[in-house]
Each structure stands twice: as C-alpha cells, then as structure tokens.
Chains A and B, each alone.
Chain A
Amino acid sequence: MKHFLSTAVVLASLAMLAGCPSKPPPAPPPAAENTGSTSGVADANANVDETDAAGPSGELLSKRIIYFDFDKAEIRADSQSVVAAHAAYLAKNPSQKVRLEGHADERGSREYNIGLGERRGQAVRRALLLQGVAELQLSTVSYGEERPAAAGSDEQAYALNRRVEIVYLK
C-alpha cells in the first residue's frame, strides 16, 4: 500500500496533525473505574443500538467512514474534506456527540489490531479537536479486526475493513 502514499498525502496528513505530536504523550493511568454491576443478559443481547442516531445529511456529512492505508493511522487526502465537514457540523452543534469506531484488517494479532484501530480512531479524534470540536463531544472505541465490514481475505476486503466509523449518538 505504500505506493499509494504520495508526498501530497503525507504533507496533507502532517498539516492536519500540525501541533500534535506524531505519537500522543503518555496518558495518566485510566482513573475512571467502572467495575459496577454487570449488565444483564437481556441488555447485553439487545440488538438495537438505541443510542445511535441518523445524524446530519448532505453530500459530505452522509459519508461516515474514513478509510486508512495498511498499517497506517494517517487520514488520507481523499478523506480530509469528509472529516472537515463533520468537524464543522460538530463545532456548530456542540451538544451533538459522536462515537469514533476504529477498525483494522484481519492480518496480524488480534489485540495488537485493537491498538491499531484505536490509533486510527484517535487520529480522527485529534483532527476533529483541531478543527474546533470539543473533547466532550467525542468518544472512541476500537474493535480491531473483530467487526469487519467486509468478509474475505483479499486486499479489497482489507481496504474496506481498515476504517473509522463516525457514529452519531442521540
């Protein structure tokens, strides 16, 4: 996939992340302990995602999936306008929250891929923050390779699976 990464893309990605260290600084130990009661079987098996909302419409805003190159967490040039549109919308609607769901393709180890998916989710999060979205509007989750968008073990499926999904919440 490296050959797809033109200099322009790299520059655009760098511009996007300007002011952000290429690796995030070490975070303090996660403090928020949430080890209370387990959710019940019925809740856990609920198929309907009650908190997910339709979200805004429009040419760019209806695009909710950001794709990534192999082993990369930089937002590609072809996705910058989509990210920017969501950033503008969220900045204008500060009560609107989104969940950023990071994913990886199936190659490599599963827990490491959880890390790769998270890195992608964080890249979109940082881009949104840089464009005026408030921290409280954003949450991330990484599914690694556990929730593929496409089945199959070929580059076509892999490309569809390396992604961040922007999920609007109610």
Chain B
Amino acid sequence: MKKLALSLLVLASFTGSAFAQLKLTITSGVTDPIPIAVVPFARAVPADGGVDVAAIVQRDLESSGRFKGMARTDMITTPTTATDVEAAAWKQMRNDYVVVGRVTAVAGGQLAVEADLVNVLNGQVLPLNRKWTVIPANLRNAAHRVADAVYERIIGQRGAFATRIAYVSVDGQPPKQRYQLIVADADGENAHVILERDRPLMSPAWSPDGKLLAYVSFESKSSAVYVQDVASTQRSRVSARAGINGAPTWSPDGKKLALTLGGSGGNLDIYLLDLATQQLNRLTDDPGIDTEASFSPDGAFIYFTSDRSGSPQVYRIAVATRERPKRVTFTGSYNARPRVSPDGKQLAVLTLDGGAYRIGLQDLTSGALAVLSKGQQDESPSFAPNGAMVILAGRERGRGVLQTVSIDGQTSARLNADAGEVREPVWGPFLP
C-alpha cells in the first residue's frame, strides 16, 4: 500500500468505558435437533482461568439450532477420553453423539485443547484430527474451534463459531447520542469497543482477511470513510470527498473498496476506490440514488440498491464492462441493501413485506424471494462465512437488537444488549 498517504492514528484506549454486552438466547431450532452430550473437559487448573470449554462448545452447537445438548446434571459419568466413553450407556440416555476432551498446560504457558467425538449409536470414534494450542487468553477461541470441528464432522459443512462480528451500539436519547463500533466473537462474548464518537458511526464492513474494518463516521460533521485495523486500532481516512461518502464494501481480493459518493450536487453513485493507488473509478451513473454495493464472491459483479425505477430495487452491474445495470429484484415495492451469499447463489435483501421491513432471501437462479425474518423493522442482513446463517438487526420493544437466523428460517437466536441499542451487525470471514 502506498502508505495511504495518511497519518495513522492510534486511538486512545477506551478501556473502562461502558458498552453494550451481548447475551445470546436461542429462540427457535429445528424440530428434531441432534442430541449430543458435551462432557466437561479435563481442566488445566489454574492456567485455564476457569473457562468452561465444554459449555462453550455446547452453546455454539445449540446456537446453530441443529443440536440439543444433554444437561450436565443428567450425566452419570464424565469421561474425558474416547476410550472411556461407554457408547451403549450414552445411547441409552438418548444421545447420538458424545464430545469429550482435555485442556492441558504445555510449554511456554500455553494450553493445548484436544477433543474426541464418539457416535454412540454405532460406537465409532470420529477423529477430529486437531490439537489447538493457544495462550490462555485465547482459550474461548480454541473452544469455538472444537465446536467448528464437531459441527463439520457431523453436518458436513464448515462451522463458523470461531469467527467475529462487528456492530454499532448507540446510547442516549436523541439528539445527544453516543456511537460505538464494537467487535465481538460470533457468540457475542469477548466484545471490544474499537471506536467511540458522539456523531454517527455506520456501515461497518470487514476486509476479506478479517483484519480491517471500513466504516462511515460523521465525526468531522460530514461523512467520511475510514479503514481501521481491528487489532491495533490504527486507522486511516480513505474518502472524505465533498458530499456523501458512504456504504463501503471490500472487493474479494481486499484491494478495492466500493463506495457511494454524492459530490456537491448530491447525486449518489457507486465508485471503486483502489486503496493502494487512491485511484477512483465511477461504476454507476444515474440521477437516482445508487448505493449499498455488494460484490459477488468472484468479484465480477456488484449488486446495489437503486431507485432509478421509482422505488428502491436491487440491480447488478459487471465490474469489468460497466454495462447497463440489470434489475435483479421484482418482488414487492422495496428491496434494498443486498448481500450476496458466500456461494454466490443467493441474495439477502431488506424487503417490504406487507407493511413490515424484513429480511428476504432471493435465489439468484430462479429469482424466487422467501421472507426469512419475522420482525416489523428488520434490517442489515449479513451472511455467516459458511452461508448457514444470516445475522440481522431488528427492533424489540423499541430497542435495536441483533438476531441470527438459519437460511432455512427454522432456527433463530437473539443477541440482546444489556444497555443501549445495537445495530448494523456484520459477520466477519473465517479466520486462519
């Protein structure tokens, strides 16, 4: 990167500042979840800091809606290795699978986490073939990776528990509100405020490597797009042009940002900004509002919201040719804020469904749109990197809350904040 010609700013630490902590509650699951017993792991006392790895694994699996964990109080034995699992006995207690494991202290003050998965219906041990070695502070992450491995071994799809989300939290009454940009684990735990302002923060977007967040801040009394390193909190301002600077989204190679710019004339169109060269290229040119770009996974197309036909609808444009945009959504009078699924086959949109703003999923092949959420004012859909779930923002009793919904609509969980309101969740990519 051409140093971005920008001064990198180390933000003051926000340690000690109050912020909304999320709490996950599963609100509905599949009708026949897979019964699984996650037995308390052998602990490394005191190095593990009291982290209950098995509880984290169980909660992750249950949050997918695909599993029902056995209550610990019903467990008669607590084996920690596969050889000690008496398959018949666990099957007798109506389990299909048992997860056992061990946390051990290893050299350098690190912790090693190992786990075994046993199919107690046939007595087979399903090897997870992994050992996770982490510093004690990352033990929760290791637990999420155990859950990922178990989920993948049983469901056949990569788990997305060891991923992160970012969201905006807002406190106070208008017009005196405080805005925070928060990064947390996908289960809402381990939340960190990475930016705090008394003017609006909006539209966070993860870089493809999960290290950077682009977002819009109004801190200088007009909108500007920033890119911030999540770990170091260093940031740079990448667009503060006249008029609107909004709706940043990353190209899949992480080299460009698609942005909405308005100029002094206020005509919103979509542009591509090369982050290394600062070169700006116009992508759309229409007197209507063009905004909310989202790349297809191969980077060849951009889906975006435009009201060129009168009401907001989703259009698609080829990045290379900039050919005439093709309208994609036709169901109903309002379809906006598209996000393409990781496999490129579906589009999550904000759709007006009989007077309620809900999240819809449109099949990009058939064009059929199914309404996924049930709220009155849902918004901001974002796919989990494995495509199994969508995280979205809704309103409950007048307060912004976050929810996850499986793409079949069967499973949902709520992420409630203990204070303020939370909005604009974005699910980060898989992490190495």
Stretch at the interface among A9-17, A19-27, A53-61, A83-91: A19-27
- Contact: B223 with A141, CB < 8 Å? yes
In the bound complex, CA of A152 to CA of B269 (Å): 31
Q: CB-nearest residue of chain B relative to A107?
A: B357
- Contact: A23 with B287, CB < 8 Å? yes
In the bound complex, CA of A137 to CA of B285 (Å): 27
Stretch at the interface among B237-245, B320-328, B360-368: B237-245
How many contacts between A and B, using CB within 8 angstroms?
A: 187
Quote the shortest CB–CB distance from B98 to chain A (angstroms): 45
| Interface check A147, CB cutoff 8 A | yes
With A39-B219, A119-B266, A141-B221 as given contacts, are A30 and B398 in contact (CB-CB < 8 Å)? no
Report chain A residues within 8 Å CB of B247.
111, 114
Quote the shortest CB–CB distance from A50 to chain B (angstroms): 10
- Contact: A118 with B244, CB < 8 Å? yes
Report chain A residues within 8 Å CB of B198.
45, 47
Question: What mask results when residues 168 to 212 of chain B are scored 1 for a CB within 8 Å of chain A, else 0?
Answer: 000001110100000000000000000011111011000000000
Chain B residues touching A, range: 35 or more
Question: What mask results when residues 333 to 344 of chain B are scored 1 for a CB within 8 Å of chain A, else 0?
Answer: 010110000000
Number of interface residues of A (CB under 8 A): 55
- Contact: A149 with B200, CB < 8 Å? no
In the bound complex, CA of A44 to CA of B179 (Å): 12
In the bound complex, CA of A167 to CA of B267 (Å): 22
Report chain B residues within 8 Å CB of A8.
none
With A33-B278, A119-B289 as given contacts, are A111 and B219 in contact (CB-CB < 8 Å)? no
| Interface check A5, CB cutoff 8 A | no
- Contact: A32 with B242, CB < 8 Å? yes
* Contact partner, B9, options A25, A38, A47, A112, Cβ 8 Å: A38
- Contact: A26 with B312, CB < 8 Å? no
With A33-B241, A45-B198 as given contacts, are A108 and B334 in contact (CB-CB < 8 Å)? yes
| Interface check B262, CB cutoff 8 A | yes
Within 8 A of B (CB), among A93-112: 99, 106-112
Report chain A residues within 8 Å CB of B200.
143, 146-147
Q: CB-nearest residue of chain B relative to A34?
A: B240
Report chain B residues within 8 Å CB of A75.
none
| Interface check B412, CB cutoff 8 A | no
| Interface check B264, CB cutoff 8 A | yes
- Contact: B398 with A24, CB < 8 Å? no
- Contact: B7 with A108, CB < 8 Å? no
* Contact partner, B246, options A29, A106, A111, A148, Cβ 8 Å: A111
In the bound complex, CA of A57 to CA of B210 (Å): 52
* Contact partner, A35, options B5, B173, B380, Cβ 8 Å: B5
| Interface check A166, CB cutoff 8 A | no
Residue in B238, B267, B424 whose Cβ sees the most chain A Cβ within 10 Å: B267
In the bound complex, CA of A72 to CA of B180 (Å): 31
- Contact: B218 with A146, CB < 8 Å? yes
With A44-B220, A106-B377, A108-B357 as given contacts, are A30 and B243 in contact (CB-CB < 8 Å)? yes
Q: CB-nearest residue of chain B relative to A37?
A: B7
| Interface check B93, CB cutoff 8 A | no
Quote the shortest CB–CB distance from B88 to chain A (angstroms): 55
- Contact: A45 with B197, CB < 8 Å? yes
Report chain A residues within 8 Å CB of B217.
44
* Contact partner, A110, options B221, B263, B271, B379, Cβ 8 Å: B379
In the bound complex, CA of A2 to CA of B219 (Å): 35
Residue in A44, A51, A119 whose Cβ sees the most chain B Cβ within 10 Å: A44
Within 8 A of A (CB), among B274-332: 278, 280, 282, 285-289, 291-292, 305, 307, 312
- Contact: B380 with A110, CB < 8 Å? yes
In the bound complex, CA of A148 to CA of B241 (Å): 24
Question: What mask results when residues 113 to 133 of chain A are scored 1 for a CB within 8 Å of chain B, else 0?
Answer: 011101101100100000000
| Interface check A7, CB cutoff 8 A | no
- Contact: A27 with B263, CB < 8 Å? yes
- Contact: B261 with A35, CB < 8 Å? no
A-B contact pairs, 28 of them (CB 8 A): A21-B287, A24-B266, A24-B267, A26-B269, A30-B242, A35-B4, A36-B5, A37-B9, A44-B217, A44-B220, A45-B219, A49-B221, A108-B312, A108-B336, A109-B336, A110-B203, A110-B337, A111-B203, A111-B260, A112-B307, A114-B223, A114-B246, A114-B247, A139-B264, A141-B218, A146-B202, A147-B174, A151-B174
Known: A111-B246, A140-B264. 17 other contacts (CB 8 A): A23-B287, A29-B271, A33-B278, A38-B6, A107-B357, A108-B379, A112-B289, A112-B305, A114-B268, A118-B244, A125-B266, A142-B244, A142-B266, A146-B200, A147-B177, A151-B398, A153-B398
